[in-house]
Amino acid sequence: MVQITHRERSEPVLVATMSQEVVSSSELNRVYTSENIEFILNIQKDALFQRDALEMSEALSFGLGGLGDFYTAANEMEFRAYLPKEFRFIIRGLRQHTRVTNVTRLNNRMLLVERSGMEERRILALNEYDLTADAVRTGIEKFGVPQILLTSNPNCRPSGESIAAASACGVEVLRFGELLGALNR
């Protein structure tokens, strides 16, 4: 556990640390030893945060993420309710969609979107600038098979092979605007 002094805060921030490739609620329970903990920092890069871990962080009100997330949280002075900017934008946009009744985070990259009178959709958000076939295959292997792969980086350039790799798994590659349109169908 680390106590951080923030320039703009009188009380220090209590941060628990761990290093796991897959972060589950049971792993979090091992380091969440006090209600005063505001953020749990997972050192391992590109980790998978499972649904139960995300639910636990929301229920117990502590932030969760990697080093980059921690730096952002510190810049924004928001540790307990921290959510990556990328997902803040996606989730807000989806919740405002007239067809969407509920949005659930299945892991740190996969969302389950429930729609009124229509089938639910699993959406995998990948933030690559150059989306490669390998990024698609690795993303699906790690986070699960979605129906839609959302290129959440607004400047994303998907390669022809990445679209083919997604298509071979029955996955459509869409930008955010295209996704909003697709949710009506």
Partner 1 sequence: MKATSILRCLLRELAGVRSQALDCDFYIFGSILTKCNCISDVDILVVYRDLEKLALVKKAFSLIKAHFPLEIVFMTTNEEQEFRFIETQGAQPLEDFLAARQEMRVEPAAIV
Contact residues for partner 1 (CB under 8 A)?
45, 130, 132-135, 157, 159-162
In angstroms, give the least distance from the CB of 166 to partner 1.
14
Q: d(Cα 183, Cα 181) in Å, to the nearest integer?
A: 5
For residues 46 and 37, is the Cβ–Cβ distance under 8 A? no
State which residue, 92 or 157, has the beta carbon closest to partner 1.
Answer: 157
In angstroms, give the least distance from the CB of 116 to partner 1.
39
Amino acid type, 84: P
Q: d(Cα 63, Cα 104) in Å, to the nearest integer?
A: 17
State which residue, 66 or 100, has the beta carbon closest to partner 1.
Answer: 66
In angstroms, give the least distance from the CB of 184 to partner 1.
31
Q: What kind and span of H or E run contains 146? A: none
State which residue, 35 or 129, has the beta carbon closest to partner 1.
Answer: 129
Number of alpha carbons in the 13 Å side-chain half-sphere of residue 135 = 23
Helices marked H in the chain = 25-31, 51-59, 67-76, 85-95, 133-143, 160-168, 176-182
Q: d(Cα 27, Cα 176) in Å, to the nearest integer?
A: 33
In angstroms, give the least distance from the CB of 93 to partner 1.
27
State which residue, 163 or 182, has the beta carbon closest to partner 1.
Answer: 163
Number of alpha carbons in the 13 Å side-chain half-sphere of residue 24 = 2
In angstroms, give the least distance from the CB of 162 to partner 1.
8
State which residue, 4 or 133, has the beta carbon closest to partner 1.
Answer: 133
